[in-house]
Amino acid sequence: MNMLHSQTLLSPHGCAALREPETRADLWSSLESESEGRGRLEVFWDVPLASCTTFRIGGPARCLVRPATVDGVAEMLGRARAAGVPHLVLGGGSNVLASDEPMDGVVIQLNRACSEIRIVHGSERGAVEVHVGAGLRLSRLVRFCLENGLSGVEPLVGIPGTVGGAAVMNAGTREGCLADVLVSLDVLDERGARQCLGRRDLSPEYRSMRLPGDWTVIGASLGLMAASKAGIRSRLQIAVKQRKATQPLNWPSAGSVYKNPPDAPAGWLIERAGLKGFTVGRAAVSEKHANWIVNLGGATAADVRAVMDHVEKSVRQAFGVCLQREILIL
């Protein structure tokens, strides 16, 4: 979470502008007045992060904001930084563990400002470029591609969350990842200025796009291929069947907890350490897939962290492997 004190914002016309710095009290007061309407900002108070994350865990955030435009996102980020208010851009909440404690800060969601999806252009050879907003759900992207006969995102089926979150962590499966079809990313840098990063400007790696932590993804352009809808549907059905057979989708979770080490999958190591079913409180290592920790109903972040600590210690003692967390601890 970046705490830079920047006063450079975007004007309604997309140009850099200066704004008088706000104190924390000024910001809260201003947002209180904003919450009376539903125009350029939607503002909600004391929102449980449990309702915003797939783990269904987390204490209340003081304020949740949904700007209507990208300029509004840049302005909100700049105001929070200038006032020294903790802030977080949260997508689908599918790869995070939120604290049980209240968050005295601002959560910013992009689903109003960045939810577009459109075909930019195609070629005679069947290549098609699609631009997608960061706030769009991955499930909607997959459905759009099926409806339009576009192949390339099938490996992302069944992954919860949004395009922005998937871009930041280079989400994917054994069949492929987002970087495989990425043409460019649209971002807001630490000053709130828009940048377009081409594929050559990026250095994606396993479960990371290696972006600066204070940059915000607002959109992505993907290079896809025209294909038969029947073929795409068949690949999606096979992938979904595989997910259901191997992943505990009937319980709230954050998906895979650990990155796979080079020599062995994390789930295999955890299972071989005898940890399937290990439970603290209402959080447990899944019996179906050992690299998933599930919420059995009423689990706390403290429960999950205790399970993670035990798993990491046990795998390190058994195999000498230090597991790296894939999920973000808020």
Ordered structural domains, the chain, with CATH? 8-108 (3.30.43.10), 117-232 (3.30.465.10), 248-329 (3.90.78.10)
pLDDT tens digits, 275-328: 999 999 999 999 999 999 999 999 999 999 999 999 999 999 999 999 999 999
Residue 61 backbone zone (phi > 0: left; psi -120 to 50: alpha; other: beta): beta
118 in Cβ contact with 130 (< 8 Å): yes
* CA dihedral sign of residues 213, 215, 217, 222: negative
pLDDT tens digits, 121-140: 877 788 999 999 999 999 99
120 in Cβ contact with 130 (< 8 Å): yes
Contacts of 151 (CB under 8 A, 6+ apart): 145, 224, 225, 226, 227, 231, 232, 235
Q: Average of pLDDT values for 46-70?
A: 96
Q: Which tokens hold the place of 245?
A: 């057979």
pLDDT tens digits, 267-285: 999 999 999 999 999 999 9
Task: Specify the pLDDT at position 232.
Answer: 97
Contacts of 147 (CB under 8 A, 6+ apart): 229
pLDDT tens digits, 230-275: 999 999 999 999 999 999 999 999 999 999 999 999 999 999 999 9
Q: Position of tokens 């300029």?
A: 71
Residue 235 DSSP SS3: helix
Task: Specify the pLDDT at position 66.
Answer: 96
Task: Specify the pLDDT at position 216.
Answer: 97
pLDDT tens digits, 17-38: 445 567 889 899 989 887 665 5
Q: Which residues are catalytic?
A: 207, 256, 326
Q: State the Cα–Cα distance between residues 167 and 212, nearest whole angstrom.
A: 13
What does each C-alpha distance from 163 to 156, 227, 276 come to in angstroms?
A: 10, 22, 31
